[in-house]
C-alpha cells in the first residue's frame, strides 16, 4: 500500500533513481572489479569535494571508521576518551574494544548534543581524545569544543554518522561541514542514514596527509605496499557495488536534505499546538534531520507511542537506555558525573517518521493522531 507510513522509505527513494542505480550496479557486474577500483576512488573524491575535505578514506561501516580513527591516533590502553552517554552504542563500543576507557558525559536537552561545558569537568590527566557525536542531524557547538581540546592537547574524532551534509558556523564567519572540523571525522553509509548505501559502508575524513595515509594503511591490513605490513591494521573496505550506489545517491544529497528539512518544518507547524517539545536548531548549525525527535512530557511517551502504533504509525525511541547504564560498559567505562539530562531524555524522546519520501498528507495523519491522543488523554500538568 503506497500510503503506508514508514520510519524510512528506502523503496520509494529507490524507485525515483532506479535507472541510475541499476546502471551503476550493472557497470560493476560488467567490470567484475568488486573490491577497490574506479568507483571507490571516484566516490571518495566526490565526497571529499562535497565536504571540502582533503582526504576521504572509505571503509566497511561506521563502527569500523570510529575504531580505525582511534587506532590511527595511537592511544594506549587505559587512556580515556570522552563520549556522550546519549548516543548509539558504536560511539563508545570502539573505545572499550581497544582497551581505552570511555568516560561518558551529559548532553544539552535542547539539541541532544554534548557541549564544551559538559565535557570540561570530565577531563583528567589520562584523557586523550573527545568523540563529539552530531546526533540526529545537527552539529555540536564545535568552536568551544575545539578550543577546549586545543587547550588540553586532546584529539577530536567527530562521529558524523547522523549528520553528513550539516555545517557549522564559526564566530569568524566561516562555515565547515560536520566531520571535517576535528582531527578525524567518521561516518556511516548504513541504508537508513542520510547518505545510505544498500548494505554496509563507512568513511573517515582527515585534513592531515600523514594521518590520512596512516588511516588508509590501517584499513588495509597496515600495508602501504602489498604484503609489507608496517603497522597492525584490519580489513575494512567499502565494496565497489556500494561505492557505485553511493556515487548516484551523493548526486541527490542536497535535494534529500531539502526534503528532510521541509518535512521537519511541516512537523513544526502541525505539532506547534501540542504539549510535545519540538526539536530546536542550534543557531550555529544547519540541521539535516536524520531524525525528527520530539520530547513527550509528563511520562506519556510510551502511551503515545502505543497509540500511534494502534493507528499504524511507526515511531522509535532513540535511545531507551543510556550507555553508562548498559551492562557492557559497567566495568569498562564510567559516567564522568551524574547525567540527569541523558536519564530524562531516555524516558521522553520519541522519533517520528522522517525520510525523503514523507508526504504532507502522511504528516497530516501523524499530527492528527497525536492531537487525538492528547484530546483523549489530556495533558497532565
Ligand atoms: C549508525 C551509527 C554508527 C555506526 O555505523 P554503522 O555503519 O552501523 O557501523 C555510529 N555512530 C552513530 C551515532 C550512528 O548513528
The number of CA neighbours under 13 Å toward the Cβ of 255 is 9
Tell me which residue has its CA closest to atom 14 in ligand 1: 161
Q: Which of 250, 270, 297 is the last residue of a domain?
A: 250
Cα 276 to ligand 1 centroid, rounded to whole Å: 27
- Is residue 80 situated within a structural domain? yes
Same domain, 214 and 243: yes
Q: Which of 250, 276, 299 is the last residue of a domain?
A: 250
> Which CATH number fits the domain that encloses residue 301?
3.90.1150.10
Report the nearest atom of ligand 1 relative to the CA of 91.
11
- Ligand 1 contacts CB of residue 61 (under 6 A): yes
Same domain, 152 and 35: yes
- Is residue 1 situated within a structural domain? no
Residue carrying C-alpha cell 492528547:
374
CB 310 within 8 A of CB 260: no
Cα 198 to ligand 1 centroid, rounded to whole Å: 15
- Ligand 1 contacts CB of residue 102 (under 6 A): no
pLDDT at 124: 98
- The backbone torsions φ and ψ at residue 314, rounded to the nearest 5 degrees and listed phi first, read -75, 155
- Is residue 3 situated within a structural domain? no
Report the nearest atom of ligand 1 relative to the CA of 188.
7
Neighbour-count burial for 204-237, b at 16+ CB within 10 Å, e otherwise: bbbbeeebbebbbbbbbbbeeeeeeeeeebbebb
Same domain, 369 and 276: yes
pLDDT at 381: 45
Same domain, 222 and 307: no
- Is residue 229 situated within a structural domain? yes
- Ligand 1 contacts CB of residue 336 (under 6 A): no
Pocket test for ligand 1, best of 66, 81, 88 (most atoms within 8 A of CB): 88
Tell me which residue has its CA closest to atom 2 in ligand 1: 161
Cα 244 to ligand 1 centroid, rounded to whole Å: 21
Report the nearest atom of ligand 1 relative to the CA of 190.
7
- Is residue 273 situated within a structural domain? yes
Whether pTM > 0.85 for this model: the answer is yes
Report the nearest atom of ligand 1 relative to the CA of 135.
13
pLDDT at 2: 53
- Is residue 268 situated within a structural domain? yes
- Ligand 1 contacts CB of residue 161 (under 6 A): yes
Residue carrying C-alpha cell 520509494:
12
- Ligand 1 contacts CB of residue 83 (under 6 A): no
Same domain, 243 and 287: no
- Ligand 1 contacts CB of residue 91 (under 6 A): yes
- Is residue 219 situated within a structural domain? yes
Domain count, the chain: 2
Pocket test for ligand 1, best of 8, 63, 134, 238 (most atoms within 8 A of CB): 63
Same domain, 234 and 330: no
- Is residue 5 situated within a structural domain? no
Cα 44 to ligand 1 centroid, rounded to whole Å: 19
Per-residue pLDDT tens, the chain, 381 aa: give them: 458 999 999 999 999 999 999 999 999 999 999 999 999 999 999 999 999 999 999 999 999 999 999 999 999 999 999 999 999 999 999 999 999 999 999 999 999 999 999 999 999 999 999 999 999 999 999 999 999 999 999 999 999 999 999 999 999 999 999 999 999 999 999 999 999 999 999 999 999 999 999 999 999 999 988 999 999 999 999 999 999 999 999 999 999 999 999 999 999 999 999 999 999 999 999 999 999 999 999 999 999 999 999 999 999 999 999 999 999 999 999 999 999 999 999 999 999 999 999 999 999 999 999 999 999 987 654
Same domain, 55 and 154: yes
Same domain, 53 and 19: yes
- The backbone torsions φ and ψ at residue 226, rounded to the nearest 5 degrees and listed phi first, read -55, 130
CB 70 within 8 A of CB 129: yes
> In terms of residue numbers, what domain contains 210?
10-250
- Ligand 1 contacts CB of residue 291 (under 6 A): no
Report the nearest atom of ligand 1 relative to the CA of 133.
13
Measured CA angle at 374 (ends 372, 375), to 5 deg: 65
Same domain, 300 and 156: no
Q: Closest by alpha carbon to 293, among 316, 270, 271?
A: 316
- Ligand 1 contacts CB of residue 62 (under 6 A): yes
Same domain, 193 and 266: no
Q: Which of 217, 233, 250 is the last residue of a domain?
A: 250
> Which CATH number fits the domain that encloses residue 131?
3.40.640.10
Classify residue 294 as left (phi > 0), alpha (psi -120 to 50) or beta: beta
Same domain, 280 and 215: no
Report the nearest atom of ligand 1 relative to the CA of 63.
9
CB 190 within 8 A of CB 62: yes
pLDDT at 379: 61
Residue carrying C-alpha cell 551529559:
106
Same domain, 289 and 218: no
Amino acid at each position: 500500500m503506497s500510503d503506508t507510513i514508514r520510519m524510512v522509505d528506502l523503496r520509494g527513494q529507490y524507485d525515483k533513481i532506479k535507472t541510475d542505480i541499476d546502471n551503476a550496479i550493472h557497470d560493476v557486474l560488467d567490470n567484475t572489479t568488486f573490491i577497490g577500483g574506479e568507483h571507490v576512488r571516484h566516490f571518495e573524491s566526490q565526497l571529499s569535494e562535497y565536504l571540502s575535505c582533503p582526504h576521504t578514506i572509505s571503509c566497511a561501516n561506521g563502527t569500523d571508521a570510529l575504531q580505525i580513527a582511534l587506532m590511527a591516533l595511537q592511544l594506549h590502553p587505559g587512556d580515556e576518551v570522552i563520549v556522550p552517554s546519549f548516543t548509539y552504542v558504536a560511539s563508545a563500543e570502539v573505545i572499550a574494544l581497544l582497551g581505552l576507557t570511555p568516560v561518558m558525559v551529559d548532553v544539552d536537552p535542547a539539541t541532544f548534543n554534548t557541549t564544551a561545558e559538559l565535557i570540561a569537568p570530565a577531563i583528567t590527566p589520562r584523557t586523550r581524545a573527545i568523540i563529539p557525536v552530531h546526533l540526529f542531524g545537527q552539529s555540536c557547538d564545535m568552536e568551544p569544543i575545539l578550543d577546549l581540546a586545543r587547550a588540553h592537547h586532546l584529539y577530536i574524532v567527530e562521529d558524523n554518522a547522523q549528520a553528513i551534509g550539516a555545517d557549522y558556523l564559526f564566530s569568524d564567519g566561516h562555515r565547515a561541514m560536520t566531520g571535517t572540523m576535528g582531527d578525524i571525522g567518521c561516518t556511516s553509509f548504513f541504508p537508513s542514514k542520510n547518505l545510505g548505501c544498500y548494505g554496509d559502508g563507512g568513511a573517515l575524513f582527515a585534513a592531515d596527509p600523514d594521518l590520512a595515509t596512516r588511516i588508509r594503511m590501517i584499513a588495509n591490513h597496515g600495508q602501504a605496499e602489498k604484503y609489507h605490513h608496517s603497522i597492525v591494521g584490519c580489513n575494512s573496505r567499502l565494496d565497489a557495488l556500494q561505492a557505485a550506489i553511493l556515487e548516484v545517491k551523493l548526486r541527490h544529497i542536497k535535494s534529500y536534505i531539502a526534503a528532510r528539512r521541509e518535512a521537519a518544518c511541516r512537523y513544526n507547524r502541525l505539532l506547534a499546538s501540542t504539549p510535545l517539545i519540538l526539536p530546536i536548531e542550534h543557531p550555529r548549525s544547519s540541521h539535516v534531520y536524520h531524525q525528527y525527535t520530539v520530547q513527550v512530557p509528563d511520562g506519556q511517551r510510551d502511551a503515545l507511542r502505543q497509540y500511534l502504533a494502534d493507528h499504524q504509525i511507526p515511531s522509535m525511541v532513540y535511545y531507551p537506555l543510556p550507555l553508562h547504564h548498559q551492562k557492557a560498559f559497567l566495568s569498562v567505562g564510567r559516567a564522568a558525573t551524574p547525567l540527569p539530562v541523558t536519564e530524562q531524555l531516555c524516558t521522553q524522546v520519541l522519533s517520528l517518521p522522517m525520510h525523503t519520501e514523507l508526504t504532507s498528507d502522511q504528516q497530516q495523519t501523524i499530527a492528527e493522531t497525536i492531537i487525538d491522543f492528547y484530546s483523549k488523554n489530556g495533558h497532565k500538568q
